Amino acid sequence: MTTVGPDGEVADGAGEVDHRRHVSDYFRLERWELPSPPGDDGPVSMAGRAPVDDHQRGPGGGLRTGGLLTSLDSLGGFTSGLAVLPRWIVTTSLLATVSELVHVGPLRLRADVLRSGRNSVVCALDVVDEGADDRRVAAATLTCAVLDPDAMTLSFERPFVLPMPPPQADPVRPEAFFCIEPGDGPVTRLRLEDQLRNPWGILHGGAVAMLADEAACRATVAAVPGAGAVAATDVVLHYLRPVKVGPVEARCTVLGTRDGRSVVRVAIHDSGADDRLVTLGSVTVLAV
C-alpha cells in the first residue's frame, strides 16, 4: 500500500518516503483549507500565499507568469483533489489570464470548487497582491479529471494546512530550477529531472506551464523584430497526456502580432516517448 501524507509525500509499504514537493516548495506556496460554515457540506475552498522572491521575478517586474501558473496548478489541483477524496485528480486544462505583471508581494491565492462531478472537477482561482492593497493579479479556471488511485491511500488531516516553506539557501533562477536548457528561437527544451516529477512520477503541471511561458517568450523575441523584453499573460494549456520520459520539447508558432501583443501556439512533446504530443495551448505574450 502506498500512502500520500499531509505534506504530499509518498510513502511505500517499506516506509520509504519520497518528498516530491519540490516544485511547490520552490515557489514557497503556503496553503490552508477554508472550512465550510457549520452545517454547510458545500464545495471545498482553499487559500494560499506565496512571496515574490527576487530571483523569481520576470521581465514584467513581478513573479514570472510560469511561476504564478505553477502555484495556481498546485493550489487548484490540491483543492480539486480534496473535493473527490478518496479518489484523486490530474489536471487536464488550465485557462488563465494575468492582468497585472508588476507585483509587490506576497501574492494571495484562493481556489473554489465550482463543480465536482463523477469524471471531472472544475475550480476557479483568483490571485491578489497583498503588498499592493489586494490589487487583482490573475484569474484562472482549472479542470481536473478524476482518477481511481488504485492501491494508493490518501490521508490528510482536515482542515488541511501546509506552512510556507523557508527561503532557499542558494536560490537559483526558475530556468535553472526547471531544467530549461539555454537557447533561443521557436524550440525550447526541458530535461526531465527527478525534482520536476509530481507524486505520481510524471512531470508536474507547473513545470509544463513554466516551459510554455519560457518557450513562447523566446519564440516571440526571435520572430518579432524589436520585440525587446516580453512577458506571458493569457495562457491556455490542455494537458493531453502525462510526461513520463523526457527530454521535453516545446515547439512554438507565433501566429500573429499586433499592438505589442503576440499570440503563440505551443505544442509540447515528450521526445523520449515516441515524441508524442503531451500538451497543447496558446500563450499571449506582451512587450513590457
Interface residues toward other proteins, by CB under 8 A: 92-93, 95-97, 99-100, 114-115, 119-120, 122, 124, 126, 136-141, 143, 145, 233-234, 236, 238, 240-241, 255-256, 258-259, 261, 263, 265, 277, 280-282, 284, 286
Is 125 in contact with 93 (CB distance < 8 Å)?
Answer: no
Could you tell me if 220 and 265 are in contact, meaning their C-beta atoms sit under 8 angstroms apart? Answer: no
Question: Under a CB-based contact definition with an 8 Å cutoff, are residues 121 and 78 in contact?
Answer: no
- What's the closest the beta carbon of residue 64 comes to other proteins, in angstroms? 18
Residues paired with residue 49 on neighbouring β-strands, in sequence order: 30, 108
State the nearest-atom distance from the C-beta of 114 to other proteins, in Å: 6
Please, which residue, 93 or 188, has the CB nearer to other proteins? 93
Nearer to other proteins, 71 or 284 (CB): 284
Residue placing its CB nearer to other proteins in the complex, 147 or 164: 147
Bridge partners (DSSP) of residue 34 are 45
Minimum Å gap between C-beta 252 and other proteins is 12
CB burial readout 108-147, b (16+ within 10 A) else e = bbbbbbeebeeebbbbbbebbbeebeeeebbebbbbbebe
Q: How far is the CB of 137 from other proteins (least distance, A)?
A: 8
* Grid cell of 81 as nine digits: 483533489
Minimum gap (Å) between residue 209 Cβ and other proteins: 15
Between residues 8 and 281, which has the closer beta carbon with respect to other proteins?
A: 281
Least Å distance between CB 245 and other proteins?
Answer: 18
Q: How far is the CB of 27 from other proteins (least distance, A)?
A: 21
| Residue closer to other proteins, measured from CB, 13 or 119 | 119
| Element (DSSP H or E) covering residue 154 | strand 152-154
Nearer to other proteins, 3 or 120 (CB): 120
Residue placing its CB nearer to other proteins in the complex, 10 or 46: 46
> What are the distances in angstroms from CA 199 to CA 3, 5, 21, 73, 194?
11, 11, 8, 14, 11
Measure CA of the first residue to CA of the last residue in the chain; give whole Å: 50
